[in-house]
Amino acid sequence: MKNVAVIGAGTMGNGIAHTFAQSGFRVQLIDINDSALKKGMDTITKNLDRMLGKGTITEEQKSETLSNITTFTNITEGVEYASLVVEAATENIDLKLNIFKQLDEACPEGTILASNTSSISITQIASVTSRPDHVIGMHFMNPVPIMKLVEIIRGYNTSDEVTKLIMDLSKTLGKIPVEVNDYPGFVANRILMPMLNESIETLYNGVAGVHEIDTVMKLGMAHPMGPLQLADFIGLDVCLSILNVMYDGFKNPKYAPCPLLVNMVRAGKLGVKSGEGFYDYSESKKAEKIAKQFL
Ligand X SMILES: NC(=O)c1ccc[n+]([C@@H]2O[C@H](COP(=O)([O-])OP(=O)(O)OC[C@H]3O[C@@H](n4cnc5c(N)ncnc54)[C@H](O)[C@@H]3O)[C@@H](O)[C@H]2O)c1
| List 3, 5, 13, 244, residue binding ligand X (CB under 6 A) | 13
Cis? peptide before 108, omega within 30° of 0: no
Q: Least distance in Å: CB of 60 to ligand X?
A: 28
Is 170 annotated in some ligand binding site? Answer: no
Q: Which stretch binds ligand X (CB under 6 A): 3-11, 41-49, 163-171, 283-291?
A: 3-11
| List 51, 125, 238, 287, residue binding ligand X (CB under 6 A) | 238
Q: How many residues bind ligand X (CB under 6 A)?
A: 26
Give one DSSP letter per residue of 154-168, joined into a string. E-TT--HHHHHHHHH
Q: Other C-beta atoms within 10 Å of 139: how many?
A: 25
Is 31 annotated in some ligand binding site? Answer: yes
Contact 117, 239 (CB under 8 A): no
d(CA 235, CA 272): 7
Report the residue number, 77 or 161, with the smaller CB distance to ligand X: 77
Binding of ligand X by 36 (CB under 6 A): yes
Catalytic residues: 118, 139, 151, 189
Q: What's the DSSP call for residue 131?
A: -
Binding of ligand X by 203 (CB under 6 A): no
Residues 141-180 that bind ligand X (CB under 6 A): 142
d(CA 183, CA 153): 9
Binding of ligand X by 290 (CB under 6 A): no
Q: Least distance in Å: CB of 103 to ligand X?
A: 10
Residue 13's nearest CA partner among 91, 67, 77 is 91
Binding of ligand X by 106 (CB under 6 A): no
Q: Other C-beta atoms within 10 Å of 164: how many?
A: 12
Q: Which residues does the annotation place in the binding site?
A: 8-13, 31, 91, 96, 118, 142, 273
